[in-house]
């Protein structure tokens, strides 16, 4: 007998969790119809009741306010700053396990600290590995995330990791633009593998913006490798933080004769001067997802594509022990 399913949201991602649950309901209905079954008696799920209380000194406590005994529990929370969001998720995992949940799955659309995936200089931490260890120590049974900064982060966990790709959302949108002379560009050498995959799938050329960093979030010199003249350029990245790199790259590409420059980034961290840089740059459209909430009214250039139906569908397939590989394009 299959365990009951329940959904709960962290305080930072309730907006997202509600839509993911709707996506789950939609996916299970489609699965029933495909099997020739009626959906008349199909249960429609909602977020479970939970609470978050902060004490005057800043400490906080979370609680799941309904029984989860014997249930497969999906806890939804992106771990963007502040770090409280990550710790809240770990407290929720611990609460569910102590309440005798059968399985606990952490749904983390944006996985924070992913940029700290290796030792790139002496005496630095590997933050992504530490976060993986902390989640594992919380007794999570499975992790679901999207477009990790580095694929090897999956190997930091001792539990299964479902790594979703936003390509199945971005590719149809890019095709709908019907752009001629398209070029896929990587904002740095590290993202060239991603750009190559998109360019190969879309059947177009590729370019790379080679940069040197003076320090974190500060770009030094930049040069463009590849032909962008008279091209509609799409800069692909997994996340954009201060937007310094993509803003500089777009301006240089336009100087080199590009027709237009668009940016596609899965996770809109957009901290500090990011919105101002996007608005002042040559970027005509910034295409992203709702893995992190966008500040309303900050830029008319931003196009948000929802990840919720995709996550809802993958949750349904994982819960019903079905393959998820066919859900992704690249």
Which of 22, 211, 256, 303 is the catalytic position? 211
Q: Is the pLDDT of residue 120 over 90?
A: no
Determine the Cα–Cα distance for residues 220 and 104; give it in Å rounded to an integer.
44
Q: Which of 145, 160, 142 is nearest to 114 (CA)?
A: 145
Query: What mean pLDDT, rounded, does the chain reach?
Result: 94
CATH topology of domain 167-305: Rossmann fold (3.40.50)
Say yes or no: do domains 5-164 and 167-305 share a fold.
Answer: yes
Confidence of residue 295 (pLDDT cuts 50, 70, 90): very high
Domain boundaries, the chain: 5-164, 167-305
DSSP code, position 57: T
Continuous segment of H or E residues that includes residue 127 = helix 127-137
CATH 1.10.3720.10: does it fit domain 5-164? Answer: no
H or E, element range at 174: helix 167-176
Looking at the predicted structure, is the pLDDT value of residue 211 above 80?
Answer: no
Contact between 283 and 260 (Cβ < 8 Å)? no
Beta pairing, strands 142-146 & 302-305 = unpaired
Nearest to 162 by CA among 183, 148, 182: 148
Instruction: Establish whether 211 is a catalytic residue.
Output: yes
- Is the confidence at residue 188, as pLDDT, over 90? no
**C-alpha to C-alpha distance for 105 and 108, rounded to whole angstroms:** 9
**Residues 143-169: pLDDT tens digits?**
999 999 999 999 999 999 999 999 999
Helix, strand and coil percent figures for the chain, each rounded to 5: 35, 25, 40
C-alpha triplet 138, 143, 146: angle, nearest 5°: 135
What is the pTM assigned to this prediction? 0.94
């Amino acid at each position: 007998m299959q365990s009951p399913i329940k959904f709960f949201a962290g305080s930072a991602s309730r907006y997202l969790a509600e839509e993911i649950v709707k996506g789950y309901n939609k996916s299970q209905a489609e699965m029933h119809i495909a099997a020739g079954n009626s959906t008349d008696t199909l249960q429609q799920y909602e977020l479970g009741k939970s609470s978050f209380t902060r004490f005057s000194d800043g400490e906080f406590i979370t609680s799941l306010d309904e029984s989860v005994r014997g249930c497969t529990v999906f806890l939804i929370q992106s771990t963007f700053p502040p770090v409280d969001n990550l710790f809240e998720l770990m407290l929720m995992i611990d609460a569910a396990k102590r309440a005798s949940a059968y399985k606990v799955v952490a749904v983390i659309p944006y996985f924070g600290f992913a940029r700290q995936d290796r030792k790139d200089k002496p005496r630095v931490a590997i933050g992504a590995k530490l976060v993986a260890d902390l989640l594992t120590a919380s007794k999570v049974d499975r992790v679901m995330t999207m477009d990790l900064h580095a694929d090897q982060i999956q190997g930091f966990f001792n539990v299964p990791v479902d790594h979703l790709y936003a390509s199945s959302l971005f590719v149809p949108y890019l095709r709908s633009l019907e752009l001629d002379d398209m070029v896929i560009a990587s904002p740095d050498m590290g993202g060239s593998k991603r750009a190559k995959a998109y360019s190969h799938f879309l059947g177009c050329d590729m370019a790379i913006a080679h940069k040197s960093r003076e320090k974190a979030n500060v770009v030094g010199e930049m040069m463009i490798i590849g032909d962008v003249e008279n091209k509609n350029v799409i800069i692909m990245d997994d996340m954009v933080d201060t937007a310094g790199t993509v803003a500089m790259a777009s301006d240089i590409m336009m100087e080199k004769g590009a027709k237009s420059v668009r940016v596609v980034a899965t996770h809109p961290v957009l901290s500090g001067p990011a919105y101002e840089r996007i608005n002042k740059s040559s970027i005509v459209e910034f295409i992203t997802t709702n893995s992190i909430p966008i500040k309303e009214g900050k830029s008319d250039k931003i196009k948000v594509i929802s990840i919720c139906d995709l996550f809802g569908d993958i949750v349904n397939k994982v819960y019903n022990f079905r393959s998820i590989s066919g859900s992704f394009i690249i």
